[in-house]
Amino acid sequence: MIYQGNAIGVVRGDDDIATLTFDLKDESVNKLSSAVVTELEEAVKALKGETGLAGLLLTSAKEAFIVGADITEFQAMFGKGGDFLEAMLMRVHGIFNALEDLPFPTVTAINGLALGGGCEVLLTTDFRVMSESAQIGLPETKLGILPGWGGCVRLPRLIGADNAIEWIAGGTQNTADAALRMGAVDAVVAAESLEAAARDILARAIAGELDYRARREEKRQPLKLGPIEQMMAFETAKGYVKGKAGPHYPAPVEAIKVIQKGAGEERARAQAIEAKAFAKLAMTDVAFNLVGLFMNDQVVKKKGSRYEKQARPVKQAAVLGAGIMGGGIAYQSASKGTPILMKDIKEEAVELGLKEARKLFTKQVERKKLSTEKMAARLTNIRPTLSYGDFGHVDLVVEAVVENPKVKAAVLAEVEAEVGEETILASNTSTISIDRLAANLKRPENFCGMHFFNPVHRMPLVEVIRGEQTSDAAVAATVAYARAMGKTPIVVNDCPGFLVNRVLFPYFGGFSRLMEQGADFARVDKVMEKFGWPMGPAYLLDVVGLDTAVHAGEVMAKGFPERMGSLGGEGESSAIQLMYENDRLGQKNAKGFYAYEEDRKGKPKKVLDEAAIELVKGVARESREFSDDDIIARMMVPLCLEAVRCLEDGIVGSAAEADMALIYGIGFPPFRGGALRYIDAMGVDAFVALADGLAEELGALYAPTDKLREMAAAGECFYATQVQAQA
C-alpha cells in the first residue's frame, strides 16, 4: 500500500504498476471535495517518492468514475473572494500538473460518468480507456462558471479548439463513441474488458511502443493553430455561442475567450488565464444563483427519491380523456416504458390522442433520437379504449378530462367503481380543489392531484397535490410514476391554484394594473423578456389561452378575494377579461393581445394587431409613463409575495421546492435563482420597503406579510448561504 485515505487508495502491484482508486467512503458517488483534493495531493506526493514504479492506472470503485467537484462547497468558497479562488485554483493546478508529470506512463480507466473536475482529472493522464456506457464532459458553464482545473487548457490540445469549444460552451455530456471519434479517449471497450484494455495500453507505453512523453508534451505546449485558423475558430464561435446563450449567461463566451487567450501560451501561463477567468465568473450573481439552483434541484431529487422508495410500483397506468393533453400524457408514459390505457367516450377523441402521441414519436425519429423500430415498440405501450374493460389491473389512473368540477367529479366517481381497491386516482387539474373533487369518492385516501404543464413532453414539472385525506401511499406512488415518466415532481398541499398558478396569477394581476394605468403591453413584454422571462405576460397569456386565464382568475378571485378579487368575476373589466369577451382567445384562435400567423415551420408567429391595441386602451383609466424598473417591480413584487405566502401557509415544503417549481413550471429566469432567492438577492428589508411603497397605491396584492416584516427586521433570509457575490 503506497497511500490510503478516506477517498483514495494507491496500491503497488507485483508488476510495479501502481493503481490509484477513487472510492469515497459512505457516499454512492465519487466527488472532488476540498478534502479529496488534499488526499489526491498526498497520493501524488507518495507516488513521486516511490522508487522503481513502471506506470500508474487510475480507476474508480464506484459505478461512476467521478461526478465532479463537490458543488455543496461552492457558494461558501465563492464568498471568500476572487484572490482566494485564484490561489485555490493554482494550488489544484499544481496537484494536477504533478500527476501529469509523473516519471512513468499513466492511463485512466473510465468506467462511468466523469464530469467537471472528474473529467479534468482524467485529462491529466497520458492515455484514457472508456467503457461503452460511460460518458464524459465539462458542464461547468451550466453553473455560470467555466472549467477551472485545466479543462480549458488540456481539452483543446487533445481534441482541437473547435471540438473543445463545442463541449465546454455547450456543457454537454458526451458518449464513449463521441469521445473516441474526437480523440478525447484512446479506446472504447466493454465494461468487463476495461481494466485489461487499460493495462494493455500501459504495458505498450512502458515497452516504448506508445510514446507517452510526446503525448504529455502536446498538452504542455501552445495550441498548434495559425493566426488565421485561430481567428476563424474563435471569432465565429463567440458570435454563435453568444446568440445561443443570450445576454444573461456570460460563461459560455467567457470560456471561449479563455481557450483563445491560452492558445498561444504554454501550460502554466494558460492555466493562470483560466484561473483568473474562473474567479471573475464565480463572483457574479449568475454563478451564485445557478449553483443555488443546482443545490435546490438536489433537494427536490432527494425528496422525490425518498417517496419513490416507499412507493408501490406503477406497472400499468391509464389516462382518461384522449385530447392533446391526454395524448401527451400517454406519449410520455409510453416513451419511458410504462404501458398506459387511453380512454375516452368518443372514437374521434381517442384517434386525436393517438395522433398526438404518434406526432411526438415521429419527431423523435426525425431528430434521430429514436429508431423506427423503437418507435413502433413504444407505440404498442399505448392501448386506446372506449370502455373500462381492462381497468381492474391498472395501478394508477390520470384523469385529464375538461377543467369542469362537475364533469371531473362524475368521471372520477365512475372510474373508482371500475378499478381495484388499491388503485390510485390522480386528477390533472390546474385549479380545482382536490378536496372538492374527493368529496364524492369512496376511497379519498387513494386520490390526489397530478398537475402536468403544457406541452407535457417539454415541461419538466408535475405538481403532486395532497388533499386533506390523501394517504402517503397515494402521494408516493404518484411521485414515483412522475419520476418514471422523466418528470420532476414537487409535492404541494391543496389550495386554489395550488402552488404554481397561485403564484402566477398575482403576476398577471400586476400586468392588469399596468394596463389600467396606461402602460403599453408590448413594451411590458419586452421589459420582462429582457429581465429574463422566456416570454412577456401578454404573450404568455396568449399561449395559455385567454379563456383558460379568465376561468383560473375566477377561481383565484374566489379563493383569495382580498388580494385577488380583481383577477376575475362579474363586473371586472381587466384587459384579460376584455380580450376574452371579444373572442380573442390567444394562439388557439390566432388572436389575443397579438395576432398570429404561421411561420415557415408552421408554428404561430406573433404580430402586433391594432385591434388589440385599441381594445386595451379601453381599460386604461389614466395615461402614465413607467420606467423599466417600475414595470419590473409592479410585475415581480406580487409574484414573489405570493411565493412567500405559499411557503408560510405550508402549501410548499421549502424555499428550494418553491423556487424550482417556478423555474420548471413557468420559466422563472433560472439565472435569478427563483422568487425567494430573488428577494434574498435584493435584501428582505429592501424588498419589504419596495412592496410597502407599491401597496400604498395598489393595495393588498402588494402588501408584505407580517412574518416577512419580522424577517426583514431580524436581517434573515430564505436561504442559509446568502453571501451575495459582487458582479
The span from the CA of 369 to the CA of 357, in Å, is 15
- Distance, CA of 518 to CA of 281 (rounded, Å): 40
Residues 6 or more apart whose Cβ sits within 8 Å of residue 79? 721, 723, 725
Q: 173: buried, middle or exposed (CB in 10 Å: 19+, 13-18, 0-12)? A: middle
pLDDT score for 446: 98
Whether 724 has a pLDDT exceeding 80, the answer reads no
Residues 675-705: tens digit of each pLDDT: 999 999 999 999 999 999 999 999 999 999 9
pTM for this prediction: 0.91
What does the angle CA 397 – CA 408 – CA 313 come to, to the nearest 5 degrees?
15
* Averaged pLDDT score across all residues of the chain: 94
Mean pLDDT, residues 326-332: 95
Instruction: Indicate if 451 belongs to the active site.
Output: yes
Pairing of strands 55-60, 127-131: unpaired
Handedness of CA 624, 626, 630, 631 (dihedral sign): positive
pLDDT band at 231 (very low <50, low <70, confident <90, very high): confident
What's residue 726's pLDDT? Answer: 31
Name the nearest CA neighbour of 219 among 370, 137, 311, 99: 99
pLDDT of residue 219: 95
Across the range 616-645, mean pLDDT stands at: 96
Which range (205-209, 422-426, 537-541, 550-554) has the least confidence?
A: 550-554
Partnered with residue 511 across adjacent β-strands are: none
- Give Cβ neighbours of residue 520 (< 8 Å, ≥ 6 apart): none
Average pLDDT over residues 153-159: 97
d(CA 704, CA 698): 13
pLDDT band (50, 70, 90) for residue 609: very high
Q: Pick the catalytic residue: 93, 248, 393, 451?
A: 451
How many CA within 13 A on the CB side of residue 727? 7
HSE (side-chain half, CA atoms, 13 Å) at 550: 22
Assign 369 a pLDDT band (cuts: 50, 70, 90): confident
What span, in angstroms and rounded, lies between the C-alpha atoms of 495 and 57?
58
Which strands form 447-452's sheet, in the order they lie side by side?
382-385, 340-343, 317-320, 396-399, 424-427, 447-452, 461-466, 488-493
Given a cut of 70, whether residue 469 has pLDDT beyond it is yes
Q: Which three cell numbers stand for residue 121?
A: 482529472
Q: Report the distance separating Cα 551 and Cα 459, nearest Å.
A: 22
Give the separation between CA 38 and CA 45, rounded to whole angstroms: 11
Q: How far apart are CA 348 and CA 333, in angstroms?
A: 21
Judged against a pLDDT cut of 50, whether residue 140 lies above it is answered with yes
User: How far, CA to CA in Å, does 501 sit from each of 432, 453, 498, 504?
Assistant: 11, 11, 6, 5
Q: Mean pLDDT over residues 144-173, rounded?
A: 96
